[in-house]
């Protein structure tokens, strides 16, 4: 259905036609006088050229269509800018992603709308941890997606808190919601031919009693990272000093008042049955099978979840790198050697990263001494966690090792992870 909407030309709406300069001026002057003037007051500004990158040019206080008044800029990404707007119809603040007027970003935005509508349709109880879409429209060649307004991202929160890690109980809450939003029991379909009838009924009951989530819908987010996880509320509390991750004491640290989070940015989401592009995910959160060109599916999201949980506990990104060989070397340092069977199957372009086809060409292949040093600085995963976490240290480390398994077929699924003792034995 969306496919049809995408190819057929959409009707231009009345407010999408820019007023002439004279009309706009007149509207501003006569402003509040009479009913006609009231309508004119909410007129769109005269049409302007986009900037060089295809971003929509705006002034605060202007209207983005007569319905939405622009209040502030909330964020910027590759796809466009996110503006805080006042929705005159619903009388609430919303976040509107105004997508760049460039074909590939417009196309990606249409996919994002597809995914968001798909998620909304399946969110029966309204309990989803994915951002809600409220509306969308095409305005002066910019796709605009209207979202519920959320608070800061976990990355913004960490940054404002000078990268002071979150307490483990909060990480558990974030992790649980994150896993619920990507939860997977696609195993239902694969079980069907093999299971007995009573077991099938049990499985079906289990499936129906859980809310539907991304992996259930056969969606792979592919860009999970702290920047794309938003706190629902902006409220926080200030607590007295706490030892910071890298050095020194902070006079105080902030904690969110509520642990509720939601996922955003579905512009890179893939449907499992589609052809996949070879490279996905933001570098730090990219799974080894993606780097090695082995193909990817749901488990690539689980790897990203593992990296995110480490970052929330330690305050620092686990793999701070911008280059493949260094990235693989960091993985080996923190998690042990890559399995030979994955190296043997790795795509042609990655041969240069290995010696005699089975061992990482490290440190010989390093591009600089700094790179060798950066890898050496990294500790084993277990030690990194121990440095920051007291309670639940061993269960958390075990969970992280399950999420960061090299072989995607051995990696924990979201459902398995949710059943892990880290989420079950809260008193440990």
Ligand X SMILES: Nc1ncnc2c1ncn2[C@@H]1O[C@H](COP(=O)(O)OP(=O)(O)OP(=O)(O)O)[C@@H](O)[C@H]1O
Could you tell me if 148 and 134 are in contact, meaning their C-beta atoms sit under 8 angstroms apart? yes
Place of tokens 């622009």: 70
- C-beta of 126 vs 240, nearer to ligand X: 126
Q: Which is nearer to ligand X, 53 or 323 (CB)?
A: 53
Q: Which residues, at least 6 apart from 80, have a Cβ–Cβ distance to it below 8 Å?
A: 55, 56, 97, 98, 99, 100, 105, 109, 142
The length of the chain in residues reads: 428
Nearest to 246 by CA among 370, 400, 372, 388: 388
Question: Is 153 among the residues that bind ligand X (CB under 6 A)?
Answer: yes
Per CB under 6 A, 90 contacts ligand X: no
Residue 210 carries which DSSP code? Answer: S
CB of 371 to ligand X, least distance (A): 26
Q: Using the minimum distance from each CB to ligand X, give the nearer residue, 80 or 167.
A: 80
Q: Considering only 10-18, 223-231, 287-295, 367-375, which stretch makes contact with ligand X by CB under 6 A? A: 223-231
Q: 393-403 and 299-314 are packed helices; what angle lies between their axes, rounded to 10 degrees? A: 150
For ligand X, which is the closer residue by CB, 110 or 375? Answer: 110
272 is catalytic: no
Q: Which of 267, 288, 315, 408 binds ligand X (CB under 6 A)?
A: 267
263 vs 400 by CB, closer to ligand X: 263
For residue 94, what are the β-bridge partners?
85, 148
* Nearest-angstrom CA–CA distance, 209 and 136: 32
| Binds ligand X by CB under 6 A, chosen from 19, 66, 77, 211 | 77
For position 358 contacting ligand X by CB under 6 A, the verdict is no
Quote the least distance from Cβ 150 to ligand X, whole Å.
4
From 71, 74, 186, 374, residue interacting with ligand X (rule: CB under 6 A): 74
Which single residue brings its beta carbon nearest to ligand X? Answer: 77
Binding status of residue 216 toward ligand X by CB under 6 A: no
Question: Measuring CA to CA, how many Å separate 159 from each of 223, 226, 266?
Answer: 20, 11, 23
Element (H, E) at 46: none
Return the bridge partners of 210, or none.
none
> What SS3 state is found at 108?
helix
Catalytic site residue from 138, 213, 223, 301: 223
CA atoms within 13 A of residue 311's CA, in its CB half-sphere? 25
Beta carbon of residue 162, minimum distance to ligand X (angstroms, whole number): 19
* CB 324 to ligand X: min, Å: 21
Q: Examine residue 114 and tell whether it contacts ligand X (CB under 6 A).
A: no
Interaction of residue 111 with ligand X, rule CB under 6 A: no
Asked whether 312 and 226 are in contact (CB, 8 A), the reply is yes
149 is an interface residue for ligand X by CB under 6 A? yes
Based on the shown chain and the rule CB under 6 A, indicate whether residue 82 belongs to the binding site for ligand X: yes
Residue positions annotated with a catalytic role: 223
Binding site residues, ligand X, CB under 6 A: 74-75, 77-80, 82, 95, 97, 131, 147, 149-150, 153, 227-228, 230, 264-265, 267
């Amino acid at each position: 259905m969306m496919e049809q909407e995408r190819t057929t030309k959409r009707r231009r709406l009345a407010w999408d036609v820019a007023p002439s300069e004279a009309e706009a001026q007149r509207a501003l002057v006569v402003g509040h006088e009479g009913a006609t003037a009231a309508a004119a007051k909410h007129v769109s500004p005269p049409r302007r050229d986009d900037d060089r990158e295809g971003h929509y040019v705006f002034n605060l206080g202007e209207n983005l269509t007569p319905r939405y008044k622009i209040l502030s800029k909330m964020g910027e990404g590759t796809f466009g800018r996110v503006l805080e707007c006042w929705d005159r119809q619903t009388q609430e603040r919303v976040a509107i992603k105004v997508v760049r007027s460039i074909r590939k970003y417009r196309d990606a935005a249409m996919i994002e709308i597809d995914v968001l509508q798909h998620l909304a349709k399946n969110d029966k109880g309204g309990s989803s941890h994915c951002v809600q879409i409220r509306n969308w429209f095409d305005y002066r060649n910019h796709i605009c997606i209207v979202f519920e307004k959320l608070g800061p991202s976990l990355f913004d929160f960490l940054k404002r808190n000078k990268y002071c890690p979150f307490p483990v109980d909060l990480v558990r809450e974030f992790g649980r919601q994150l896993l619920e939003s990507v939860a997977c029991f696609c195993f239902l379909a694969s079980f069907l031919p093999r299971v007995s009838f009573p077991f099938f009924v049990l499985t079906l009951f289990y499936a129906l009693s859980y809310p539907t989530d991304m992996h259930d819908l056969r969606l792979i987010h592919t860009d999970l990272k702290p920047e794309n996880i938003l706190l629902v509320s902006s409220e926080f509390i200030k607590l007295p000093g706490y030892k910071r991750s890298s050095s020194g004491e902070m006079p105080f640290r902030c904690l969110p008042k509520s642990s509720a989070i939601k996922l955003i940015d579905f512009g890179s989401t893939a449907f499992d049955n589609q052809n996949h592009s070879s490279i996905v995910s933001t570098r730090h959160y990219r799974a080894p099978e993606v780097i090695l060109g082995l193909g990817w599916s749901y488990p690539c999201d689980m790897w990203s979840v593992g990296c995110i949980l480490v970052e929330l506990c330690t305050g620092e990104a686990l793999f701070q790198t911008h280059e493949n060989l260094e990235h693989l070397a960091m993985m080996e340092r923190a998690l042990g050697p890559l399995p030979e069977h994955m190296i043997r199957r790795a795509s042609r372009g990655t041969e240069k990263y290995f010696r005699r086809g089975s061992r990482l060409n490290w440190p010989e292949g390093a591009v600089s001494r700094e790179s060798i040093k950066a890898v050496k600085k990294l500790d084993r995963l277990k030690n990194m966690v121990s440095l920051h976490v007291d309670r639940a240290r061993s269960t958390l480390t075990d969970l992280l090792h399950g999420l960061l398994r090299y072989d995607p077929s051995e990696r924990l699924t979201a459902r398995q992870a949710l059943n892990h003792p880290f989420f079950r034995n809260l008193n440990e």
